[in-house]
Amino acid sequence: MNKGVEMEAPETTGFIEVIFPSVPGFGIDERDEIEDTLQEMLENRELGDVSGSGAGMGVMILDIDVFDARNLEETVQVIMEVLKNHSCPSGTRVQINQPYQKTHQL
């Protein structure tokens, strides 16, 4: 045992952004509908939580906290399934930002 040495907890969570280009015919209402669907799907599977949203600089974003980083790819699959069932604009992407970086194009 190391006295006086604080051990840092391993990284176990993840963070994903869903990024929608701002285009005519796809606005805040459409993003909010996707947000509600994602929240329900992620919550039901105990994968994560939609923790925020924003808009600016030509994009709209949903922030997703992933409860366990070991479930990142499953979480991305759920997100992609929801996005494909909505009329998302071309250029929509899912960006994993934590614990590693990877982009999935819709």
Full-model pTM: 0.86
Instruction: Encode pLDDT of 16-37 as tens digits.
Output: 999 999 999 999 999 999 999 9
Helix (H) or strand (E) holding 18: strand 14-21
Q: Where along the chain do its domains lie?
A: 14-98
Top CATH class of 14-98 equals alpha beta
- Nearest residue to 84 (alpha-carbon basis) of 58, 63, 62, 105: 105
Question: How many C-beta atoms lie closer than 10 Å to residue 82's C-beta?
Answer: 19
Instruction: Encode pLDDT of 46-97 as tens digits.
Output: 999 999 999 999 999 999 999 999 999 999 999 999 999 998 999 999 999 9
